[in-house]
Amino acid sequence: MNNLSSAAQRQAFDEQGYLLVRGVLNEQDFVPIRRVIASTIDHRAKELYDTGKISSLYEDLSFYHRLTRILRESQGGPLLSWNWNKEVFSREVYELITHPKILDIVASLIGPELTVNGDYWIRFKMPTGGESVFPWHQDSIYYNGNVDPGQQVPLSEESQILTVWIPMVDVDERNGCLQVISGSHKRGLRPSHRDENRRLVPVEDVESWGEVQNVRMKVGDVFVFGNLTFHHSLENTSEDIRWSIDLRYSPTGSPLEWLLQKWPGFIARSQQQPETVESWEMWEAKRTPPEPI
């Protein structure tokens, strides 16, 4: 897993179903998004404090420890991991999703006509050991599982949907890094069933199919994988939250209207029709429901 030329990146991605690119972003690139998260945590803390669910705003705690403390007190039992999308919808997220270095990597894998799908997630993987495990899955199985019964839509596995996974702290086996199975995407979409937590887990022993890779990453590295690549994340046995953001892209014109209706996205790059690229204001207008008349 090294930095390679575009053609070699593409070849490695096609072969393995994933690609790790080191040192893409720098500390400065994260400043705006950290600010958005900190302000959302602040807002959430005030809500919980005002409704008597926490006894303090814990403003003296660091960015990383504050949310754990707030959730420990408000949730009582084991901490549930959180995913935020609309809570952090902002120009700062748009800037990160359209970061030229990220778009260059995505374009090297799926071509120059790029649509951002609106289902990005900021994830807080809580320091709760086994509770924090995310089981093996292919993203397509979740997409298909989210389609309403009876809705006739093209299956998601017929499209390329790329995830760009970006840690906001260094990640390894201790704090729940991702694992992937090399070459697993070549087997197509596999059967799964719902476990006791309603999560879709494979019925087959996927770990026996190929090399299971631990995806150890430093802040600034990005990890890209496809919607058929089996991946999961390990327990977070550390004391701290594992923060990450995952972004999603497809070739423009992919038959994903059902996804874009649910999570409106935008055209992020186009070589053929550069005038179709959509600004933050255009994305914001798509995501903001019209005022009632």
Ligand X SMILES: O=C(O)CCC(=O)C(=O)O
The residue among 113 and 246 lying less far from ligand X, judged by its C-beta, is: 246
269 binds ligand X (CB under 6 A): no
Of positions 44, 66, 123, 190, contacts ligand X by CB under 6 A: 123
- What would the x/- binding string for ligand X be over residues 238 to 257, using CB under 6 A? ------x-x-----------
Token output for 223:
């990890």
Min dist CB 43 to ligand X, Å, is 23
Min dist CB 7 to ligand X, Å, is 26
- What would the x/- binding string for ligand X be over residues 11 to 50, using CB under 6 A? ----------------------------------------
Picking from 200, 250, 245, 196, the residue whose alpha carbon sits closest to that of residue 221 is 245
The residue among 48 and 224 lying less far from ligand X, judged by its C-beta, is: 224
| Position of minimal CB gap to ligand X | 233
* H-assigned helices in 133-218: 139-146
Phi, psi of 232 (to 5 degrees): -160, 180
The residue among 66 and 123 lying less far from ligand X, judged by its C-beta, is: 123
Min dist CB 113 to ligand X, Å, is 23
> Which value, to the nearest 10 degrees, does the dihedral of the CA atoms of residues 252, 255, 261, 262 take?
-100
Q: How many alpha carbons fall within 13 Å on the CB side of residue 276?
A: 13
Of positions 115, 117, 140, 163, contacts ligand X by CB under 6 A: 163
Which helix (H) or strand (E) segment is 236 a member of? none
Distance of CA 128 to the CA centre of its chain: 20
Token output for 252:
């423009």
Q: Enumerate residues 52-111 that contact ligand X by CB under 6 A.
A: none
CA dist 176 and 90 (Å) reads: 27
The residue among 136 and 266 lying less far from ligand X, judged by its C-beta, is: 136
The residue among 58 and 232 lying less far from ligand X, judged by its C-beta, is: 232
Min dist CB 246 to ligand X, Å, is 4
Min dist CB 88 to ligand X, Å, is 15
The residue among 114 and 166 lying less far from ligand X, judged by its C-beta, is: 166
Residue with tokens 């298909």: 144
Q: Enumerate residues 176-235 that contact ligand X by CB under 6 A.
A: 231, 233
134 binds ligand X (CB under 6 A): yes
- CB neighbours (10 Å) of residue 77? 8
Min dist CB 293 to ligand X, Å, is 39
Token output for 208:
């026996």
The residue among 107 and 224 lying less far from ligand X, judged by its C-beta, is: 224
Of positions 18, 58, 165, 266, contacts ligand X by CB under 6 A: 165
Picking from 239, 235, 213, 248, the residue whose alpha carbon sits closest to that of residue 109 is 248
CA dist 194 and 77 (Å) reads: 23
Which helix (H) or strand (E) segment is 243 a member of? strand 242-251
Token output for 50:
């005002």
- Using CB under 6 A, count the residues that bind ligand X: 10
CA dist 226 and 17 (Å) reads: 6
Binding site for ligand X (CB under 6 A): 123, 125, 134, 139, 163, 165, 231, 233, 244, 246
